[in-house]
Amino acid sequence: MRNGEVFSNRADVAVVGGGVIGLSVARELGRRGLSVRLVERNRCGGEASFAAGGMLAPQIEADARDAFFELACRSRDLYPAFAGELLDETGVSVELDCTGTLLLALTEEDEHEAEHRRRWQQAAGFEVERLTGEEARELEPSVSPRVRSALRFGRDWQVDNRQLISALVASAQKYNVSIHEHTEVLGLRVEHHCVRGIETTRGNLQAANFVIAGGAWSSLIRAKADSLAEATDDSPLTPLIQPVRGQMLCFKSEEVFARHVLCSPRGYIVPRRDWRLLAGATVEQVGFDRSVTDVGKRFVMRNAEEIAPSITRLSLVDEWAGLRPRGESAWPVLGRANNVDNLLYATGHFRNGILLAPITARIIADLITRRDGSPEFDHEWLKAFAPERLHTAVA
């Protein structure tokens, strides 16, 4: 059911937000046999999840083998099965492309940074290959003659994030998830350290558990002040999530322009199967402003041209901007609110929400369905992402 008017019975789980994260969590819970309602204030997948480049690239930017790197690599490794299941369940291909990613070095500093990355990743057993500038151009003729060397990450992939949204909506519905679009959550009713329900523009919704997956808007989804009258410390400590704008340009080629995702430390070009090329992206803190600006477009164009000068000869067919959800540490916030028992957060995925969707779904579903502990995820490791590590009280 999409766009149901009335919330009749109490669900096992209510998920707030229909981006890639809310949809992946709702689908996974539905697969496990729970009754799930998802509420989205507009259309599903219309915000950051629509704007993304679809790179599944934990390795290109990683400078240390920390908890985040492990989370990102584990999620990337889930993708072939995730994409296969979505295809079987819905007939929608998410166009998982495993050609790989080139990180191009154009300056001495770029080379230095890349060399550090290659060394520690190879020593730790991760796949990465060094190419000369010439080898990079042999592999991808559109790459700039100014490229001095490159790293090839054969396991940093890409997916079509818009197809992914369509597949997730269809799959979630197959698992009987009720998706309510054009339904905005106005606030949580919290009593005695428990969310009793959520108020929406279409009435009150009750559930045993609540998952906040509101992307860049997650910090605005709070307890209603009047529901907290009895005990002020009932108020959940809401993680601080801020919007970070990313502007993108989209070009169309008449033939294959590149097969790998092409990146520099300043920008990237993602080649799609239909010969569109997505060039990104700005990283701007400008509040909830999703506009595309002349300054932003020039920045993206300059960085795309540095990677592949001939891109300027292609037709510019589209442009857009989206708001990445960034937590205080830039790591995602995954887990139970520390003082409200049945409230969970799945947010703050910043630049990697498409990549992190499958593992986020499994972590949140395990927290809800396996109260005695997850066999897959180490409790101590999960603490690196827990909301309780942040102490940002609701104003």
- Residues in the site for ligand GLY, rule: CB under 6 A? 53, 55, 246, 280-281, 324, 351
Cβ 324 to ligand GLY, closest distance in Å?
A: 6
Q: Indicate the burial class of 235 (C-beta count within 10 angstroms; 0-12, 13-18, 19 or more).
A: buried
Cβ 17 to ligand FAD, closest distance in Å?
A: 3
Cβ 52 to ligand GLY, closest distance in Å?
A: 7
Nearest to ligand FAD of 43, 119 (CB atom): 43
Among 22, 271, 358, 387, binds ligand FAD (CB under 6 A): 22
The amino acid occupying position 211 is V
Cβ 177 to ligand FAD, closest distance in Å?
A: 15
Cβ 318 to ligand GLY, closest distance in Å?
A: 16
- Interface with ligand FAD includes 358 (CB under 6 A)? no
Nearest to ligand FAD of 152, 324 (CB atom): 324
Write the interaction track for ligand FAD spanning residues 57-96; mark x where CB under 6 A is met and - where it is not.
----------------------------------------
Rounded-to-integer distance, Cα 289 and Cα 296, Å: 13
Other Cβ atoms closer than 10 A to 276: 17
Among 221, 223, 308, 361, binds ligand FAD (CB under 6 A): 221
Q: Which residue is nearest to ligand GLY (CB)?
A: 351
Rounded-to-integer distance, Cα 214 and Cα 185, Å: 10
- Cα Rg of the chain (Å, integer): 21
Rounded-to-integer distance, Cα 40 and Cα 167, Å: 17
Site for ligand FAD in 277-336 (CB under 6 A): 280-281, 322, 324-325
Rounded-to-integer distance, Cα 225 and Cα 338, Å: 19
Rounded-to-integer distance, Cα 292 and Cα 81, Å: 36
Asked whether the beta carbons of 327 and 240 are under 8 A apart, the reply is yes
Asked whether the beta carbons of 289 and 316 are under 8 A apart, the reply is no
Stretch of residues binding ligand FAD (CB under 6 A), selected from 48-56, 99-107, 250-258, 334-342: 48-56
Cβ 3 to ligand FAD, closest distance in Å?
A: 13
Site for ligand FAD in 223-262 (CB under 6 A): 246, 248
Cβ 100 to ligand FAD, closest distance in Å?
A: 15
Closest CA to 336 of 383, 381, 374, 392: 383
Among 13, 17, 29, 102, binds ligand FAD (CB under 6 A): 17
Cite the beta strand spans of the chain per DSSP E. 11-16, 36-39, 55-56, 101-105, 129-132, 149-153, 157-158, 178-180, 185-191, 194-200, 203-205, 207-212, 242-252, 261-263, 268-271, 276-280, 315-326, 333-336, 343-347
Nearest to ligand FAD of 137, 292 (CB atom): 292
Q: At 141, is the secondary structure helix, strand, or coil?
A: coil
Rounded-to-integer distance, Cα 43 and Cα 65, Å: 37
Nearest to ligand FAD of 149, 347 (CB atom): 347
Nearest to ligand FAD of 111, 329 (CB atom): 329
Write the interaction track for ligand FAD spanning residues 165-184; mark x where CB under 6 A is met and - where it is not.
-------------------x
Query: What is the edge-to-edge ordering of all strands in the sheet holding 242-252?
Result: 129-132, 149-153, 101-105, 261-263, 268-271, 276-280, 242-252, 315-326
Cβ 50 to ligand FAD, closest distance in Å?
A: 7
Rounded-to-integer distance, Cα 82 and Cα 86, Å: 6
Residues that bind ligand FAD (CB under 6 A): 16-22, 39-42, 46-49, 51-55, 184-185, 213-217, 221, 246, 248, 280-281, 322, 324-325, 347, 349-355
